[in-house]
């Protein structure tokens, strides 16, 4: 039964002509699939409907080929041929009583048009502002173009209506949408009636809203998604946002407010707590009679209630929390708060969009596999013909495998060498800024605890003999990986000359409480993800002077994909870490490290007391190979599989995925050379 404290979250609320059944509002979010994987996206959204979200949105939907953000894969609504896929999406979103929304985007100064090859059109022309500094400029919209653009929005609204959506969201947030470009003096340098005063800069959005209402005869609700604060002297500041809302309080049917850039709005838990944008949004509700929705990586129902009761928000906006747990609303409704699979704020989901792959989620292993593989965030398929499984290793891989196998109905034994479950996340959660990583272990440990068919043994480092003696039909080896002590990773494919007089540490040493305290430390980071900079912070806390060396031109280069790179680089500089980018150690000597420039090979000497290697990891696969060598003694063992980091080290999301995959595929018929997932192929046109 629902805790009455949370009743307010389930009060219906009107959004213009539409009634939202509750306050759970899945704001638009990308998924790396977009137009390329229509059915995968549809079924992903359907799980949100099933999980009780009152309002569910698409990702960015590009309304016209004169503005598209290739290589990013979003939705298209360019002509009527795009309607069927979106109609299927709207039907899925509404399948459990929620409202379906579509986000209409025209990217203006952000769209390089690499696919359509159209000349980009912007409020004020200039170089395209993208992540990749495309060498392309946009032309300034003239009055005729603005009339065209209004008509394109009208067409998109009509098609959205035809597709069955209840709401359209006009995208003007994150610096990505034309509505913000018009409103902001940073991107609107016009001197005509669309530029200058705030009233003039607001003209375009007023016209589009009016025309959208007219086009749908007031039948669709209109949301305006705006940035709460654009930085910079000319930016659309929080004060101006408030002026604008005060002047036009009744313009949209709902205000959807998101902090500044995408990086600011979707900060990782390392840098942003839950409800981080509260200061910027508080008080805005008083300026308008229309409801306000905002995000904040909300996973705690108490925090959600506080946001509503204290008048900060009317709707709880969520992208990542809805990805990590599509069933979050239903779990609160059913009094199952402890079953919520909380987002850990790692932005691996974002990286799927940034890398143009398909998104995945560390916590919800079914995300974007709902259609491709038939996985479900909550349900599991019934077990196959065998009964017993032994899992060796209780890290993210082993835990996810145990949970998914337990749900399928297998008799599972999970053996873990340490005194607690969690593997690498038990260690990593203790590092600066990474405490939320612990949710990976906490959720799974909490879920398997009451399962009568999952038995856990701690403090149990299994040997080959143990495994052979346990008599399980299937054995999964999820024994993780160990950080390397030599410099071998991406740049150096073989060890470099090393004087044994220099103490060398690894992340495992530091996470176990070892490593240097004080003194001068060189960190060599050829991993390029979070670990190098996190350990730099730890060492600064321990009183060390830190030099961070990396072969890339930027620190933690891959974190561009998790939207953290700039914040990490700034943090390193602010805490006094000396950065040596485009450099790598060529030799480790007794008193320091000889660095080579990765461009010129020119060498310099960097004195230090110790070296920390953040390079790559070696799979812990000895147990697996030992068991494979004893096949003659297997007895009733049918299969032995190596999974997760023990097979191929990767991010935590790769580990949970590997655990899920093992559990899903157990006892399934061998698919031979067939693909392990479904995909859609474009229909060939008649030539
Ligand atoms: P993954 O990310 O693939 O789950 P981790 O390194 O997080 O990998 O977890 C591996 C876990 O396996 C660790 O908790 C480790 O203690 C455990 N482990 C390693 N070898 C054995 C073993 N022989 N018996 C039981 N547990 C083991
Ligand atoms: Fe949250 Fe990470 Fe999942 Fe994204 S990938 S929803 S940030 S847990």
Which residue in this structure is represented by tokens 């059915």? 39
Q: How far apart are the first and last CA of the chain?
A: 60
For the chain, residues with pLDDT lower than 50 are none
Q: Is the CB of 644 under 6 A from ligand 1?
A: yes
Q: Which ligand number lies closest to the CA of residue 31?
A: 2
Range list of β-strands (E), 295-424? 315-318, 388-392, 411-415
**Residue 71, preceding peptide bond in cis (omega within 30° of 0):** yes
Fold type of domain 484-618:
FAD/NAD(P)-binding domain (3.50.50)
Run of H or E residues at 349? helix 348-354
Pair 208, 153: CB distance under 8 Å: yes
Q: In the sheet where 411-415 sits, what is the strand order?
A: 454-457, 411-415, 388-392, 474-477, 639-642
Q: How far apart are CA 656 and CA 361, in angstroms?
A: 9
What is the Å distance from ligand 2's center to 38 Cα?
21
Q: Is the CB of 461 under 6 A from ligand 1?
A: yes
Partners of 221 in the β-ladder: 167
Partners of 636 in the β-ladder: none
Q: How far apart are CA 36 and CA 29, in angstroms?
A: 16
Q: How far apart are CA 488 and CA 614, in angstroms?
A: 10
Write down the CATH number for the domain with range 388-480+620-665.
Answer: 3.40.50.720
The secondary structure of residue 42, as a DSSP letter, is H
Q: How far apart are CA 98 and CA 168, in angstroms?
A: 15
The number of angstroms, rounded, from the C-alpha of 63 to the middle of its chain's C-alpha atoms is 25
Q: What are phi and psi of 458, to 5 degrees?
A: -95, 170
Q: What is the dihedral of CA 450, 442, 480, 380, to 10 degrees?
A: 50
Q: In the sheet where 583-588 sits, what is the strand order?
A: 583-588, 592-597, 603-607
Q: What are phi and psi of 172, to 5 degrees?
A: -140, 40
Q: Look at residue 262 in the predicted model and tell me its pLDDT.
A: 85
What is the Å distance from ligand 2's center to 604 Cα?
41
Determine the length of the chain.
Answer: 687
Pair 78, 113: CB distance under 8 Å: no
Q: Look at residue 75 in the predicted model and tell me its pLDDT.
A: 97
What is the Å distance from ligand 2's center to 342 Cα?
9
**Ligand 2 first shell, C-beta below 6 A:** 320, 323-324, 343-349, 361-363
Write down the CATH number for the domain with range 4-354.
Answer: 3.20.20.70
Structural tokens at position 645:
């980091």
Q: Find, among 345, 349, 365, 352, the residue nearest to 299 by Cα.
A: 345
Domain locations along the chain: 4-354, 388-480+620-665, 484-618
Burial class, 355, CB count within 10 angstroms (exposed 0-12 / middle 13-18 / buried 19+): middle
Structural tokens at position 278:
């509260």
What is the Å distance from ligand 1's center to 256 Cα?
44
Q: What are phi and psi of 550, to 5 degrees?
A: -145, 145
Strands 388-392 and 221-227: unpaired
Structural tokens at position 518:
């004080």
Q: Which residues fall within 8 angstroms of residue 540, CB to CB, at 6 or more apart?
A: 546, 575, 576, 577
Q: Which ligand number lies closest to the CA of residue 274?
A: 2
Q: Find, among 88, 4, 78, 3, the residue nearest to 46 by Cα.
A: 88
Q: Find, among 664, 661, 657, 655, the residue nearest to 395 by Cα.
A: 655
What is the Å distance from ligand 2's center to 351 Cα?
10
Tens digit of each residue's pLDDT (9 = 90 or more) over 30-42: 999 999 999 999 9
Nearest CA to ligand 2 atom 2: 346
Q: Look at residue 593 in the predicted model and tell me its pLDDT.
A: 98
Helix (H, G, I), strand (E, B) or coil at 541: helix
Q: Is the CB of 648 under 6 A from ligand 1?
A: no
Q: Is the CB of 480 under 6 A from ligand 1?
A: yes
Helix (H, G, I), strand (E, B) or coil at 606: strand
Q: Look at residue 263 in the predicted model and tell me its pLDDT.
A: 85
Structural tokens at position 139:
């032309």
Atom of ligand 2 nearest to the CA of 319: 6
In this structure, is the dihedral angle defined by the CA atoms of residues 119, 121, 124 and 129, taken in order, positive or negative?
Answer: negative
Q: What is the pTM of this model?
A: 0.97
Q: Is the CB of 512 under 6 A from ligand 1?
A: no
Helix (H, G, I), strand (E, B) or coil at 224: strand
Which one of 346, 359, 366 would you pick to mutate in the ligand 2 pocket, going by the greatest count of ligand atoms within 8 A of its CB? 346
Strands 454-457 and 411-415: parallel
Pair 584, 491: CB distance under 8 Å: yes
Which one of 328, 361, 396 would you pick to mutate in the ligand 2 pocket, going by the greatest count of ligand atoms within 8 A of its CB? 361
What is the Å distance from ligand 2's center to 349 Cα?
5
């Amino acid at each position: 039964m629902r805790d009455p404290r949370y009743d307010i979250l389930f009060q219906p609320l009107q959004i213009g002509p539409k009634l939202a059944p509750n306050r759970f509002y899945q704001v638009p979010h990308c998924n790396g699939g977009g137009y390329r994987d229509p059915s995968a996206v549809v079924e992903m959204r359907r799980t949100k409907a099933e999980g009780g979200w009152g309002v569910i949105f698409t990702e960015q939907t590009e309304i016209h080929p004169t503005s598209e953000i290739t290589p990013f894969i979003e939705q298209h609504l360019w002509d009527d041929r795009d309607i069927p896929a979106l109609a299927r999406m709207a039907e899925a979103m509404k399948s459990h009583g929620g409202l379906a929304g579509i986000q209409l985007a025209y990217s203006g100064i952000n769209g390089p048009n690499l696919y359509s090859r159209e000349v980009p059109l912007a409020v004020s022309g200039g170089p395209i502002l993208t992540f990749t500094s495309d060498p392309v400029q946009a032309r300034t919209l003239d009055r005729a173009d603005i009339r065209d653009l209004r008509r394109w929005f009208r067409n998109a609204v009509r098609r959205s209506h035809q597709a069955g959506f209840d709401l359209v969201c006009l995208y003007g947030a994150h610096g990505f949408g034309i509505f913000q470009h018009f409103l902001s003096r940073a991107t609107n340098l016009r001197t005509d009636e669309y530029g200058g005063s705030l009233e003039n800069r607001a003209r375009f959005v007023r016209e589009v809203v009016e025309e959208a209402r007219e086009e749908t005869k007031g039948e669709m609700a209109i949301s305006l998604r705006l940035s709460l604060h654009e930085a910079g002297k000319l930016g659309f500041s929080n004060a101006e946002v408030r002026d604008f809302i005060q002047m036009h309080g009744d313009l949209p049917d709902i205000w959807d407010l998101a902090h500044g850039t995408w990086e600011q709005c979707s900060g990782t838990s390392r840098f942003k707590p839950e409800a981080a944008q509260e200061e910027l949004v508080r008080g805005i509700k008083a300026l308008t009679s229309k409801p306000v929705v905002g995000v904040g990586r909300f996973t705690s129902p108490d925090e959600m209630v506080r946001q509503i009761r204290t008048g900060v928000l009317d709707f709880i906006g969520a992208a990542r929390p809805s990805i990590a747990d599509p069933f979050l609303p239903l779990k609160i409704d059913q009094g199952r708060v402890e079953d919520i699979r909380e987002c850990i704020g790692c932005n691996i989901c974002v990286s799927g969009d940034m890398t143009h792959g398909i998104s995945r989620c560390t916590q919800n292993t079914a995300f974007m596999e709902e259609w491709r593989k038939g996985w479900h965030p909550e349900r599991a398929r019934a077990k196959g013909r065998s009964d017993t499984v032994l899992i060796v290793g209780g890290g993210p891989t082993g835990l996810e495998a145990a949970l998914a196998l337990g749900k399928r109905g297998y008799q599972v034994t999970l053996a873990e060498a340490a005194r607690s479950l969690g593997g690498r996340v038990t260690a990593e959660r203790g590092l600066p800024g990474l405490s939320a990583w612990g949710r990976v272990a906490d959720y799974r440990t909490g879920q398997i605890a009451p399962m009568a068919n999952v038995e856990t043994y701690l403090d149990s480092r299994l040997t080959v003999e143990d495994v052979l003696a346990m008599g399980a039909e299937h054995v999964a080896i999820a024994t993780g990986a160990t950080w390397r002590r030599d410099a071998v990773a991406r740049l150096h494919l073989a060890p470099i000359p090393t004087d044994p007089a220099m103490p060398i540490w690894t992340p495992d040493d530091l996470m176990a409480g070892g490593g240097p305290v004080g003194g001068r430390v060189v960190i060599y980071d050829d991993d390029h993800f979070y670990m190098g900079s996190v350990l730099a912070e730890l060492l600064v806390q321990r009183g060390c002077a830190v030099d961070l060396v990396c072969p890339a031109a930027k620190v933690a280069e891959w974190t561009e994909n998790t939207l953290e790179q700039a914040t990490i680089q700034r943090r390193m500089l602010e805490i006094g870490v000396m950065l040596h980018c485009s450099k790598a150690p060529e030799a480790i000597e007794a008193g320091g490290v000889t660095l080579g420039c990765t461009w010129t090979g020119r060498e310099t000497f960097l004195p230090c007391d110790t070296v920390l290697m953040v390079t790559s990891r070696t799979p812990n696969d000895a147990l697996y190979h030992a068991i494979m060598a004893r096949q003659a003694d297997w007895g009733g063992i049918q299969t032995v599989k190596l999974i997760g980091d023990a097979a191929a080290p990767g991010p935590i999301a790769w580990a949970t995925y590997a655990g899920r995959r093992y559990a899903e595929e157990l006892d399934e018929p061998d698919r031979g050379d067939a693909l392990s997932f479904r995909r859609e192929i474009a229909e060939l046109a008649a030539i």
